[in-house]
Structure 1
């Protein structure tokens, strides 16, 4: 090992990932243990060793300027044995060859570092595989001299060195370019500079900022530009721009292109292309070229020889720099490898990743795992952050359907009949214990919140996951695809059960005989999100609706040092006529009586100022009732409506009706695809009607949520109902005024909009008529 001045730093795992993998991509059914199971397994191995055993040994070494560091799992000085501990499920013989090669490479590199650090001449290397179900250890050992290990270490470093030198040059060029980055427009919009300055301060101080800024001021570029500018000075390694929906990703990519990241935009406005690597992360379901095939070399041609062709594809990809979904697919198919897994690899080497929030906040999120493993300084930008509460609740919730598991039991292969039968008996017992004979009133489902996790049921479920895992591994490519689906559902439920606490509840819903659903529902995502925010170097959560701040602080778990900012609206009251129609009630028992008054309001406004409008309702049933009444009374008035489960093409068709010179009313559901994230400036939208307060339904689940939030925060009704509802209202209203040149009308139809606590929650710049 050498002591040359460091040019690049790499973790042992990342080095071996780069140099030691070969052959096929193989994602057959060997589900890995959860993070908690893995930590418990490592602790068990340590407890089985004697008092002289050393664990979590920090090691590092340098070769020709490449600094390699990491933590070895354990060293037994009595046996002179270095151990790498891996937890697993099921038969070890089914482990993919490239995975085993990676494990040996890691322990050999750690061995070389240990020998150099302590002057050890030879060493026993050990891979310790712990089966988490049986707690049985399998020990694979190999004797090696320090000279052999040093030669192996230097060989891996040589393989990586050219890449490391390239990465070092890229980082220098990137940082130099970002230090001189200019704002891509001639001037800031009103409010945009104020937001950009606050974002820069957050990145400069390593803090979390919650920024409420009005729609239409250019929040995307106002957050990207200052964060990119801060990256060189603050040593920020990566930037993740996280969105809730596809339009958010498109907007972020468009802003990055204007900043100079896209080679296709080179020269526009006199700008030079930035040496910036931009990667768009997409879901596996959208990136997969062969969705009907399994992810291994025997089934998919893009998995066969994946690691052998990866180096050339990786090299070509980083040379391109700009890797949106189409460009990434093009590179992958040129080299005959999977676009999705090429994207997963390139997340390690990209400066900016644009993707869904689940890529950082989900339980097994890629970007969070990479940041932890590589010690990155990661800056987060979270767009439309008001949606993160509900999105995170979904990430940390799971449910199981009795009927589908019963169907699986009836057709299951012989090895699965007994464990599935035990699970079905536990399910029946659980339903009986919870008053299963009561199917609810008036045909409604019976709902119960359980006092805790049903331990016997969970135990039976865990045995089913082991049986399913073993069967699918022994019969790759055979059997009912439902086996795979049920395995994933069972694993998700069991893993969430490990961290069950006051942040969640367990409930049972009975829809009829033999049709029950058991759910684990997250209520307070803060308990899961707080460690993610703590891991990030800086975070900016921005939206037009982030008030009240306590609601988002409490439910998102942002750090205590977080800063909240509200950017004043550049719009003025004369631009938006806001009228409250207080004679209308949209409560469930008043719906029938509200139909004619709502139609009168729609028609009256349209006749006063013909043009294009959106009308929002609380449900599809309510929407259809009003639409039917409008069509019956005024068939001459053009109108069209959102429908359930619209495809992307159908959504585009709905929006295409909003073109300059056209007239009519589009009917939509509040909180749906057209309630936020769409841009219809000028004549394309001159007004909106909102016939609801947006409140979640007053059902048993939301009442349970209210009770839990009241117990924890003292704000049950506001946090469960009023605030989420009004956020949807304000978001929908924000479709009308998109620029300082726009003007329009907003009609709020419900007497509750006149209540003081509701009016106080509406934007200050609105002038109520």
Structure 2
């Protein structure tokens, strides 16, 4: 029996957009008239439903072309196919746009090319000598529709289509040849280390999950080797055809670096793969100011004419694409390094990137995740506890009344129509403001939405006609924010709360608040095969399972810690509290005494974490009065830049003459993601339960989860707070050679509601008071650690 040839696949949309793009990057025009993101789906369905029974919607079409070594498969979904009275078939391609339709003299070529591909495939499948194409453009604000119609003979479509395929063939050849090389390298790949206790089981759990196309939540204590334990089985799964591309998603640069190093270790072991770590646009931009248009940026001018050659060349030069290589290649070909890096990612096997590139509706990689596209993707989601708040932010949107007045002032001399529209929206928001005392929740804001849609439509037309004017950047930013608000409104359902609030600075805000992001996240996860969520602080696991996915059959495992109990002293102070009613000078002195007595037992580097800057400063002042001669201290500052953060951490490299104490804030830049091994950090003191500060938004969360789960306080306060506590505590024991103490100061930690949230490895713990804390700490440091296994 003849063996089936390997497949090289590409979607119709990606094919035509890739081959036919040309010209400049121009944020003055493209950003305001691009195809709509979320609204497009709604308008497609509305138009499709309005047709009669001869109209077939969302028709899957596929053609496989037999190449020498592989089959090239082009596939997609035609928005509609209908037959006219004489059985003449017509392909309908629907495009939702923001631009005024009278500005369209003819169809946009890449849209027409998409329809021509579908027309060719359908005509070829059904042996049609002729076929029609209807381009249906719909303005998303007014729902006005404009049609363009053209008929084609099969022969001319075939000639056009085969020319398109010829242009793409060198890319398909490359894809096939590289995949063959990659798969062969994976088959001989072995785990690069001796397995730690429980690690083999974890690797097997990850592989099994991917094999079953499920999602897995891993509570992975520090030291289990979670990065290699997720990457290795994902790579092996790709080798077995269970996926084709790995996305390693992270919230922080430091964890992205660890992932890159781990892929590098596999590479040294023989793994051949193309890897890219996506870098933020502002970090790659080669211009002094980030103005992405041909007037201000030489790399934007003609970018699309040159970028394919730049990418093809780079793919043959390198496998691990560094930031330096991307920039050098961009300079050589005079293209935008950021946009080129996104194109390189299209050909990469492993992509390390921020959560945004997969989940954020404004930033996601449309090449992979556009509507109707599903890929053989494996998602590895690191430090996934961060995704809860990050996704709430991604799927929420807000407007400020004051911004309407600012933009009105700018546009008043330029457009009477926009001035009137902005004034009308401002007046509606003023009515909402008059109703608002603390915060107000609304079920319906239809009166405002109508005004916003009309404003957005007129702004689009104005921006198209006026590419240059004073303060355009401010106006464009307002417009994009307005569009985002309208797009997010399309997602609003029972997972959202719409509310208004007068903020501390006096500004009036209306917000579409995504209190439960699980449904929006799940829609993104469904674009791939499997997702592995992992974190050192994933407790309680059901809280995260409910907020990060809607699936009922997700797996969860608890990885075994490799650290010995004797490496750590875990103490709970029973006679201290950080409740607001107890924040008095005597309590500050007690906290300062706990710190002073702890560090007196053993010189070294310590971190003390507080729930707020204010409490940190109050305790620091008392500490310096009493213990200033016995220790060096440093305080975390609000809004520290990257260089200041690095300078702060350099203090842990030095040999200090006496104890060194860093005063920090829980949940801040030093509360997670830093790795101070061995004697660089020997103790962490956590002051308070980490409860988020009371705010209107937290109160909205509490009310929502009280109503839906009956656990409002837990979901809004206790669980997020305890996560910050566990993250801070996790800074101290990082390797099998580390020894150190963890001291938690708040009597609430002894309550059952908190005890139930302790990780398994916190079995050995002691309760202390200010009178005996020094005895416990001295005894720990004076005890000779047990010999390590040889």
Out of 516, 531, 547, the position equivalent to 1:524 is 516
| Aligned match of 1:441 | none
TM-score (norm 2): 0.90
Asked if structure 2 preserves the Cα contact closer than 8 Å seen for 1:533 and 1:559, the reply is: no
Q: Which residue of 1 aligns with 2:779?
A: none
Quote the Cα distance in structure 2 between the aligned partners of 1:193 and 1:161. 42
The farther-off stretch of 710-719 and 134-143 is: 134-143
Structure 2 counterparts to residues 703-714 of structure 1, below 5 A: 703-714=699-710
Matched, 1:757 2:753: yes
Structure-2 residue corresponding to 1:382: 381
- CA displacement at 1:492 relative to structure 2: 1.8
User: Could you tell me how far 1:374 is from its partner in structure 2?
Assistant: 5.0
Cα distance in 2 for partners of 1:753, 1:62 equals: 63
Which SS does the other structure have where 2:181 is aligned?
helix
What are the equivalent positions in structure 2 for 1:302-381 lying under 5 Å apart? 302-319=299-316, 320-367=318-365, 370-371=368-369, 374-381=373-380
Q: Which residue of the partner structure matches residue 90 of structure 1?
A: 99
Question: Is 2:129 the partner of 1:121?
Answer: yes
Q: Secondary structure at the match of 1:366?
A: coil
Query: 1:687 corresponds to which residue?
Result: 683
The answer on 1:228 being equivalent to 2:235 is yes
TM-score of the pair, normalised by structure 1: 0.92
1:81 equivalent in structure 2: 90
> Take 2:19 and 2:747, find their aligned partners in 1: how far apart are those partners?
67
Distance 2:401 2:663 in 1: 37
Instruction: Mark the CA change 1:31 to 1:710 in structure 2 (over 3 Å): closer, same or farther.
Output: farther
Matches within 5 A, 1:285-300: 285-290=282-287, 292=289, 294-300=291-297
Worse overlay, 75-84 or 532-541: 75-84
Verify: 1:14 aligned to 2:8, yes or no: no
Tell me whether 1:153 sits opposite 2:161 in the alignment.
Answer: yes
**Match among 653, 660, 685 for residue 659 of structure 1:** 653
**1:457 maps to what in 2?**
448
RMSD: 2.3
**What is the CA-CA distance between 1:310 and the residue it aligns to?**
1.5
> Which runs of structure 2 are paired with 1:279-678 in the superposition (5 Å)?
279-290=276-287, 292=289, 294-319=291-316, 320-367=318-365, 370-371=368-369, 374-413=373-412, 414-415=414-415, 416-434=418-436, 446-480=437-471, 481-511=473-503, 515-593=507-585, 594-636=587-629, 637-659=631-653, 661-662=655-656, 663-678=659-674
Give 1:234 shift.
Answer: 3.2
Deviation for aligned residue 1:34: 4.2
Q: Is the 8 A contact 1:84 1:128 kept in 2?
A: yes
Deviates more, 1:708-717 or 1:78-87: 78-87
1:711-741: per-residue Cα shift (whole Å, max 9, x none)? 1122212221111111111111011111122
- Aligned partner of 2:719 in structure 1 is 723
Quote the residue 1:442 is aligned against: none
Deviation at 1:49, TM superposition (A): 4.1
Indicate how the Cα distance of structure 1 residues 559 and 649 shifts in structure 2: closer, same or farther if over 3 A, else same: same
Q: Tell me how far apart the structure 2 counterparts of residues 291 and 41 of structure 1 sit (CA, whole Å).
A: 40
Rounded to whole Å, the distance in 1 between the matches of 2:725 and 2:105 is 52
SS at match of 1:640: strand
Query: 1:6–1:67: 8 Å Cα contact kept in structure 2?
Result: no
Cα distance in 2 for residues equivalent to 1:7 and 1:585: 64
What is aligned with 2:772?
Answer: none
User: How do residues 16-35 of structure 1 correspond to structure 2 at under 5 angstroms?
Assistant: 16-27=16-27, 28=29, 29-32=31-34, 34-35=36-37
2:150 maps to what in 1? 142
The residue aligned with 2:783 is none
CA contact (8 A) 2:192 2:265 kept: yes
Could you say which residue in structure 2 is the equivalent of 1:439? none
1:94-243 aligned within 5 A: 100-185=108-193, 187-243=194-250
Mapped contact 1:52–1:76 kept (Cα < 8 A): yes
8 Å Cα contact 1:30-1:95 kept in structure 2:
no
Contact 2:609 2:666 in 1 (8 A): yes
- Alpha-carbon displacement from aligned partner over 1:641-675 (angstroms, at most 9, x marks no partner): 11111000111111110116334001110001111
Deviations 1:67-118 (A, max 9, x none): 2222222233215432222111123576799x92212222222222122111
Residue matched to 2:75: 69
Show CA shifts across 1:447-485 (max 9, x none).
Answer: 213132322122222222223222222111323121112
- Contact 2:607–2:685, Cα closer than 8 Å, also in 1: yes
Question: Counterparts of 1:293 and 1:120 in 2: how far apart (Å)?
Answer: 50
Is the alpha carbon distance of 1:745 and 1:462 closer, same or farther for their aligned partners in structure 2, counting shifts above 3 Å?
Answer: same
Measured after TM superposition, the shift of residue 551 of structure 1 is 0.6
Q: Name structure 1 gaps, 5 residues minimum.
A: 261-265, 435-445
Segment of structure 1 superposing worse, 191-200 or 750-759: 191-200
**8 Å contact 2:116–2:133 — kept in the other structure?**
yes
Partner Cα distance (1:615, 1:513) in 2: 31
Q: 1:118 to 1:421 in 2, by over 3 A?
A: same
CA distance in structure 1 between the partners assigned to 2:364 and 2:749 by the alignment: 43
Q: Give the deviation of 1:47 after TM superposition.
A: 4.6
Cα distance between partner residues in 2 of 1:45 and 1:503: 27
What's the secondary structure of 1:182's corresponding residue?
Answer: coil
Of the structure 1 ranges 47-56 and 280-289, higher mean CA displacement relative to structure 2 is found in 47-56
Give the distance between the partners of 2:610 and 2:244, measured in 1 at CA. Answer: 45
Partner Cα distance (2:389, 2:703) in 1:
17
Deviations 1:423-442 (A, max 9, x none): 111011111233xxxxxxxx
**Structure 1 residues 270-309: Cα deviation after superposition (integer angstroms, max 9, x where no partner):** x44x320111112223333336354333442112221221
Contact 1:33 1:132 (8 Å CA) reproduced: no
Deviations 1:33-60 (A, max 9, x none): 6444312322343355443233323322
Deviation at 1:387, TM superposition (A): 1.3
1:231-258 deviation line (CA, Å, top 9, x unaligned): 1213411110000111111111111111
Which residue number in structure 1 is paired with residue 43 of structure 2?
41
Q: Distance in 2 between matches of 1:353 and 1:513?
A: 41
1 CA distance for matches of 2:89 and 2:377?
38
SS of the equivalent of 1:139 reads strand
Distance 1:305 1:19 in 2: 15
Q: SS where residue 745 of structure 1 aligns? A: strand
Structure 2 vs 1, CA of residues 327 and 559 (structure 1 numbering), >3 Å: closer, same or farther? farther
Q: How many residues align?
A: 743
1:275 to 263, 272, 276: 272
Mapped contact 1:639–1:665 kept (Cα < 8 A): yes
Q: Distance in 2 between matches of 1:605 and 1:399?
A: 46
The answer (yes or no) to whether the contact 1:294–1:477 under 8 Å persists in 2 is no
Deviation at residue 10 of structure 1 after TM alignment: 2.0
- SS of the counterpart of 2:174? helix
Indicate if the aligned counterparts of 2:94 and 2:137 stay in contact, CA closer than 8 A.
yes
Q: 1:624 to 1:94 in 2, by over 3 A?
A: farther
1:14–1:374 contact (8 Å) kept in structure 2 = no
